Amino acid sequence: MKNSTVLPAQSILIEDRSMASLLRPALTLFVVMSVITGLLYPLLTTGIARAVFPTQAAGSLIEQNGKVIGSTLIGQLFTDSRHFWSRPSATSPAYNAAASSGSNQGPLNPALADAVKTRIEALRAADPGNTQAIPADLVTASASGLDPHISVAAANYQVARVAKSRNLPVNRVQQLVDAQIEPRALGLFGEARVNVLQLKMALDVLNP
């Protein structure tokens, strides 16, 4: 009867071959899936998006006189009385898309109370004759810090100030605001809103 004992060197060789047989398909699968999910799939989805939604895929950019002046998806800072003011941003600098975030300050945080107080004072100083209640979105930042929209109430609150600063009839400015109102999504989701940058552009056409 033959001796079937495996020598140590033969055992090591068998183990090496067994390990190689396991690693080869694993590495092949890793490379194939990396190419598919990391290269082909993004290229495919980007290509479809550019074909079906070219504006959105490019960042929903807004151009004026052949120059990009912003995006419908990202707010901008306006502080003079001639413009409608955007919702405050907690990013640094304001509306920094690379650092989207909220203030992460709770309702009892003194820093939040101070920030809201400062914003209220700025709004009152810009329009001292306005006795309306100030809408919350004009004094509080959102979770993203990038909101391009304000509520209809926030836009209406600023109509008189903007009209006075531009020497326009209040009802004419109100008509522009009403024309810029975006309804709820599908009539159900979210709230009616106004895109501040698009409203600014409409105002500048009427009264540069």
> Beta partners for 67?
64
In sequence order, the 6+-apart residues with CB closer than 8 A to the CB of 125 are none
Place of tokens 């060197």: 9
pLDDT at 69: 82
- The C-alpha atoms of residue 136 and residue 153 are separated, in whole angstroms, by 9
Q: What is the C-alpha to C-alpha distance for residues 71 and 52, in angstroms, rounded to an integer?
A: 19
State the helix-helix crossing angle for 196-206 and 152-166, rounded to 10 degrees.
Answer: 30
53 vs 168, more confident: 168
- The residue assigned the tokens 């909101």 is 147
What is the value of pTM for the model shown?
0.74
- The tens digit of pLDDT for each residue in 17-69 reads 666 677 788 888 999 999 999 999 999 998 998 888 887 777 788 887 888 88
Predicted confidence (pLDDT) at residue 15 exceeds the cutoff of 70: no
pLDDT reported for residue 11? 58
